[in-house]
Amino acid sequence: GAVVSQHPSWVICKSGTSVKIECRSLDFQATTMFWYRQFPKQSLMLMATSNEGSKATYEQGVEKDKFLINHASLTLSTLTVTSAHPEDSSFYICSARKFGTWSTDTQYFGPGTRLTVL
Amino acid sequence: GEDVEQSLFLSVREGDSSVINCTYTDSSSTYLYWYKQEPGAGLQLLTYIFSNMDMKQDQRLTVLLNKKDKHLSLRIADTQTGDSAIYFCAESSTGGYQKVTFGTGTKLQVIP
C-alpha cells in the first residue's frame, strides 16, 4: 500500500497565530512531497514542491515566507502557515511521491487538513 | 500552461452508468488520472492511464482516452449511492515527481 497521513485533520485558530500541518508517508519513503490548497467547490492548486533535504520550490504567487515548508526526513514534510489570517482558511492537502518504475511512479494523497482562521 | 476542464455536475439514477468527461490542453501529458473526493476528505486515486493507451478497465471503471482530441472519460458501471462524490481529472507530463494539474472537478450525484 501507499498511505499518507496528515495531522491535524481540522484546526481552528485565531488570526495572527501560526499553524503547523504535518504530512507523513506511513509505509514508504518519499523524497518528494507536494502541498496543495483547495478552496470550497474548487479544484486543487499546487502551492509548493517539497524535496527532502533541500528548499521547497514554490509556485508563482505563493508567499514562501507565509507558507514555510520543511521536509526534514523521507517520511515527513511540514507546512507552517505563519501569522494566519481569515483568507488563509482553506483545505490543505499534501501528496507524496512513491518512487517506482515508469508505470508505477505516482503521487498518493493525504486526507487533508481543514484550517479555519477566526 | 496546462488546462484541464470538466463539467461541474452530473446526476444519475442508481444502477445506471455514469460517464464523466474531461478535456486537457497539454499535448505532452503522459499520465492521466481520475481521483475521487468524498465530502471533507482527501483524494483517492481511482485509476490512471498512460498516453499510449486508449482504454483501461478496472472492475466497474472504464477509462477512455482520445489523445487526438485530448479527451478523457471515466465510465462507472452500475453506479451506486456510495459513488456520490467529486471526481477530478488530472494530468502530469512526467509522472510522480512532477506536479499534477487538476481539473475543476465533477460532482456526481446518485439518486436512489
Contact assignment for B96 to A97 by CB distance below 8 Å: yes
Residue B99 is classified by DSSP as: P
- Does A111 have pLDDT greater than 70? yes
Segment A61-70 mean pLDDT: 94
Minimum Cα–Cα distance from A57: chain B residue: B99
The pLDDT tens digits of the residues spanning A68-94 come to 999 888 899 999 999 999 999 999 999
Which grid coordinates are listed for B111?
A: 439518486
Distance of alpha carbon B102 from alpha carbon A82, whole angstroms = 26
Minimum Cα–Cα distance from A33: chain B residue: B97
Percent of chain A with pLDDT over 90: 65
> Over its length of 112 residues, how does chain B's per-residue pLDDT go in tens digits?
568 999 889 999 999 999 999 999 887 777 889 999 988 788 888 988 888 889 999 999 999 999 999 999 999 999 999 999 999 999 887 655 567 889 989 999 999 9
Q: Cell 499518507, residue?
A: A4
Residue of B31, B97, B103 with shortest CB distance to A97: B97
CA nearest B108: which of B3, B18, B45, B41?
B18
Contact assignment for B97 to A43 by CB distance below 8 Å: no
Which grid coordinates are listed for A20?
A: 503547523
Question: A60: helix, coil or strand?
Answer: coil
Cβ–Cβ contacts within 10 Å for residue A16, how many?
10
Of these ranges, A15-19, A36-40, A108-112, B40-44, the one predicted with the greatest mean pLDDT is A15-19
Helix or strand holding residue B44 (H, E): strand B43-50
- Does A62 have pLDDT greater than 60? yes
Q: Which of residues 14-73 of B touch A (CB under 8 A)?
A: 31, 33, 35, 40-45, 48, 50
Q: Cell 515527481, residue?
A: B97
Contact assignment for B45 to A49 by CB distance below 8 Å: no
